[in-house]
Structure 1
Amino acid sequence: MALQFNMLLLDEGIAPSDVRLLRHQTGKVPGRTPYTLWRDDVAAFQQYQSTQDPAPRQRSRFRARYWASFVAPPDGSTMFVGLYEVKLVGSVTAGQIDPLTLREVGADKGLTAYDQYDCRPMVELSDYIGRLFIHWGDSSSAARAWTQRADQQDKEIVELRRTFREEEFPGFTQIIRPIDEIEAMPSAWKQILSASRGVYLLACPKTREHYVGSASGEGGFLARWREYLATNHGGNAGLRDRERTAWQVSILEVAGSSASEKDILRMEASWKQKLHSRTIGLNRN
């Protein structure tokens, strides 16, 4: 018999009918998700979930004594991040900033009076935080229904890990990431990329164009990619006059620790030749 989430609630004396399941999964902010917010700043995540849409239909979905909160890691799974006792206490203070969007709460929907909830973390089930994963559902409607009743949706527990762990670094040649998501990468990945130099590829699936570049300075690949995130062109002539593009970044070759800047530039020139990036790509030198 499969283990179900409601079994854990009942073991703690909590009636599933008193619990709403919340799966925080929005992708409206490039490079920032409820998962990364929880991972990097639990208090900010709790502030984020404590403000909700005041529309009557939405408000009714949150009307329960407890919220069981989940987030969606990059692999699309559903990870438990805490059980909360909740109470609607009024409206959000004017000017309050949403920790996820970094804009005023409700600004993305043109609303000025979001509901403010008091969300108190509970000791019950806290041992499972970051370790327990449930099956949320396979259908597209299940994915959209990010708020559900525990008594009507008894979720199967699909994994229980010994400890919370982030994705393992896949290796340099396996990294393919939208440039907008580099800040959402695990901190261990960013440390490795900051300490590594070499040749990378920018590619746009939409326009089918590519650009070969090199990272030879302090901060390695990560510092160079952050320049593109900030400017979209990184100071390169072939990219400067273009509209903002959904670049995907990958690594073509990693330089050895003793490689000089000239060595890396020679590597870059070789890849430009291999990929014809001066003739059918966006390189201008």
Structure 2
Amino acid sequence: MDGRTAVIDLNDLLTKAGLDPATVMVMRHRPMEKDLRAVMPWLAAERYSVYNAFQSNHSEVVEKALSKARYLASFIGHEAGRAVFVGLCEVAGYEVVSSKRFWAFPENAELRVLGMNGPKDERDSFWFDLQPTTHLSDWKGKLVIDWTGIERSWWRWASRNRLPVRAIHDESLLVKAMPDWQTLTFEWSQLNLLPASWRQALAQWRGIYYIFDRTSRLGYVGSASGAENLLGRWQNYAASGDGGNRLLRGRDPQGFVFSILQRLSPDMQVEDVVQVESSWKERLQSRTPYGLNDN
């Protein structure tokens, strides 16, 4: 469906699904936090409980409005003036939670690592029970609407706005094809959130990787071979922060950026892998005191 010729809008779709647009609040999530914004589509696609936690708590003004809604139509900021559909939830109720309890939710702990601030001034706030429905579920990640009016107005009532359908794609836009390995960079906080298709590729790749510590402005060169491959090795960093490397211990992994220097043949002998790794350490001067390699 071409947005230039489309004559239907979101309210038409809601009505056809048997929903009254006057009962539906529409949100277009585009977090201010850079790290969280980067992974929001991944969360929506494959870590929905974390995504849903993000939209279950709001400022006082929004929580007052959402408490009057029966449904929440959830979108992600796709590009300027566009929003991609994630799902339609029933607003089943809410409870008041303290700041301490808010951060005790495991999903919120994950979001905190990605930079989410939580309730302002650590106030008691509403925690909404948002139950996913099957309404329009076939169009998750595929339906794109025009986000008309003021873009920073990220929530609004469906019945009071006209949000034209721009396109309905064949494939989901939430998880894009994995970029070429030579252009990949990952923040440490992203390692546990990588889409399944990306994880599958990394699980098959052996190679030499690089970790840049933004805090110290020093780098570390490592290798992944054998059963671990890149995914297994990086999962170790995701779990421990330092991957067992002495000069990385005690450093804040939030400043680590991961990339691939060279992919290697899956049947390369271990001693040859070590030799290639050593070559990269020499070229990048990553051995101490100029880098974070201690050998």
Are 1:222 and 2:231 matched, yes or no? yes
Candidates 112, 119, 126, aligned match of 1:114: 126
CA contact (8 A) 1:34 1:100 kept: no
- Comparing 272-281 with 112-121, greater Cα deviation is found at 112-121
Candidates 87, 108, 127, aligned match of 1:101: 108
- What is the letter of the counterpart of residue 101 of structure 1? N
Candidates 49, 72, 75, aligned match of 1:70: 75
Q: Secondary structure at the match of 1:52?
A: coil
In the alignment, structure 1 segments of 5+ residues that lack a partner are: none
* Distance in 2 between residues matched to 1:28 and 1:130, nearest whole Å: 22
Are 1:133 and 2:144 matched, yes or no? yes
CA contact (8 A) 1:201 1:210 kept: yes
Q: Which residue of 2 aligns with 1:255?
A: 264
* Distance in 1 between residues matched to 2:149 and 2:273, nearest whole Å: 46
- What is the letter of the counterpart of residue 291 of structure 2? G
* Distance in 2 between residues matched to 1:99 and 1:25, nearest whole Å: 22
CA offsets, 1:26-72, max 9 Å, x none? 47796795544442355x368637843483x2323312232111245
Q: Secondary structure at the match of 1:222?
A: helix
- Comparing 210-219 with 148-157, greater Cα deviation is found at 148-157
* Distance in 2 between residues matched to 1:155 and 1:281, nearest whole Å: 52
* Distance in 1 between residues matched to 2:250 and 2:138, nearest whole Å: 52
* Distance in 1 between residues matched to 2:192 and 2:80, nearest whole Å: 16
- What is the letter of the counterpart of residue 191 of structure 2? I
In the alignment, structure 2 segments of 5+ residues that lack a partner are: 111-116
Whichever structure has more helix as a proportion of its residues is 2
Are 1:60 and 2:64 matched, yes or no? yes
How many pairs were matched up?
277
Assess, with a 3 A threshold, how the Cα gap between structure 1 residues 241 and 49 changes in structure 2: closer, same or farther. closer
State the Cα distance separating 1:187 from its structure 2 match.
0.7
Q: Which residue of 2 aligns with 1:235?
A: 244
- What is the letter of the counterpart of residue 258 of structure 2? V
Assess, with a 3 A threshold, how the Cα gap between structure 1 residues 245 and 129 changes in structure 2: closer, same or farther. closer
Are 1:283 and 2:293 matched, yes or no? yes
Q: Aligned Cα RMSD in Å?
A: 3.8
* Distance in 2 between residues matched to 1:73 and 1:179, nearest whole Å: 24
State the Cα distance separating 1:163 from its structure 2 match.
3.3
* Distance in 2 between residues matched to 1:76 and 1:184, nearest whole Å: 27
Residue identity over aligned pairs, in percent, reads 27
Task: Return the TM-score normalized by structure 2.
Answer: 0.75
Q: Secondary structure at the match of 1:228?
A: helix
1:50-199, aligned counterparts within 5 Å?
51-53=56-58, 55=60, 57-62=61-66, 63-71=68-76, 78-88=83-93, 90-91=95-96, 98=105, 100-102=107-109, 108-109=118-119, 110-111=122-123, 114-117=126-129, 119=131, 121-123=133-135, 125-136=136-147, 142-143=151-152, 145-164=153-172, 166-199=175-208
* Distance in 2 between residues matched to 1:269 and 1:54, nearest whole Å: 52
CA offsets, 1:169-221, max 9 Å, x none? 22321211112102221111112212221101111345432221111242211
* Distance in 2 between residues matched to 1:168 and 1:225, nearest whole Å: 20
State the Cα distance separating 1:86 from its structure 2 match.
2.8
* Distance in 2 between residues matched to 1:20 and 1:255, nearest whole Å: 51
Q: Which residue of 1 aligns with 2:114?
A: none
Q: Secondary structure at the match of 1:224?
A: helix
CA contact (8 A) 1:50 1:119 kept: no
CA contact (8 A) 1:25 1:33 kept: no
Assess, with a 3 A threshold, how the Cα gap between structure 1 residues 177 and 72 changes in structure 2: closer, same or farther. farther
CA contact (8 A) 2:144 2:165 kept: yes
CA offsets, 1:83-133, max 9 Å, x none? 234343655699686452258xxx94335563444636153x333222112
Q: Secondary structure at the match of 1:163?
A: coil
CA contact (8 A) 1:35 1:73 kept: no
State the Cα distance separating 1:13 from its structure 2 match.
5.9
